[in-house]
Amino acid sequence: MENKKVLLGMSGGVDSSVSALLLKQAGYDVIGATMELFNAGSCCNINTYIDAKNVCNSLGIPHFTYDYKNQFKEYVIDDFINCYKNCKTPNPCIECNKYMKFGLMYEKAKELGCWYIATGHYAKTEYSEEYGRWVLKKSNAGKKDQSYVLWNIPKELIEHVLFPLADFEDKEQIRAIARENNLKVANKPDSEDICFVPDGNYKGFLERNSDIRPKEGNIVTLKGEILGKHTGLYNYTIGQRKGLGISYKEPLFVIGFNSEKNEVIVGTEKELYTSEAYVEDINLLLFDEIKEEIEVDVKTRYSANVANATIIQENDKIKIKFKEPQRAITPGQSAVFYIGDIVVGGGKLI
């Protein structure tokens, strides 16, 4: 007999709430789970738990809340802080998905006898005859597709993951289903910010939660010409133009950092572009390794368009050669590789 028991991660938002409804309608035995990750913020406040529990009550499914605040600090917040300490720009959602939503939650699912876990992400899983394995794919949601932030999940989990929203094209369809079924979260706004930095002020968060402090240094060109002063390396990101407080004969952008000299390096628009990049901390979903150069589409940040490139694995790194130079490649961000709609894998840009 097929095990149709599924543990669904519920944030109290409309996506995970409609996911609960759709799974129940499809005949799954659904358990709702809300993870307590942070003491405050858009993901973790009393309304989150109340909304999730109310939805579960209205659908007649059980709901549990699990305290993972210590693990969230270890895997997500500490990584976020360390990235900024090392002049990298992190994407904490990717760490959260790997360790929390598709790590600890899957362990909890097994404890509860569930074959599946599910979330309200816009992505898709299916068995590929061509590749002879379960694959992670883009959803039908276009720009709202979230496969980019899922590249780092363990590949052995893919056959155990359900994405009930995979075939919806826009958020309004989801809200309409919620309204038709009298789910009180139908019009609840989306949370756009980093969940543990709800005010969007990540610099203030770093100063309150770590030993990172403003430390003045020089803003320099690649040739070493000093153009001004900066207020701390963590206050800047690759590609930034505004707020530099310098004047020059042409527009200048942040193109890099020298942490040893405490310098922000600036350059022209042309100097922002690069034809090659490397990633580390790689996770391959479609292949066990990439022995020969293959052609892929690459996304180098969540909001970026895909770029055509070739990739090849060099021990524990992957070398990316772009067909056309790419702007503002940012260390710490993820490069995610696709063949068509299938996620090949990804890694952290160096």
340: three-class secondary structure by DSSP: coil
Selected catalytic residue, list 43, 44, 83, 195: 195
Which of the following is catalytic: 44, 87, 96, 114?
A: 96
Is residue 350 within 8 A of residue 334, CB to CB? The reply is no
Residue whose token pair is 């939660």: 209
Helix extents (H) in the chain? 14-25, 46-59, 69-72, 78-85, 92-96, 105-111, 171-180, 202-209
- Residue 26's nearest CA partner among 2, 46, 45, 50 is 2
Contact 18, 164 (CB under 8 A): yes
Distance CA(191)–CA(266), nearest Å, equals 33
Both tokens of residue 115? 């074959």
- For the question of residue 96 being annotated catalytic, the response is yes
Whether 44 is catalytic is no
User: Which tokens hold the place of 227?
Assistant: 């153009």
- The strands making up 63-67's β-sheet, listed across from edge to edge, are 63-67, 29-36, 5-9, 116-118, 161-162
Tokens of 85: 């300490």
Catalytic residues: 96, 195
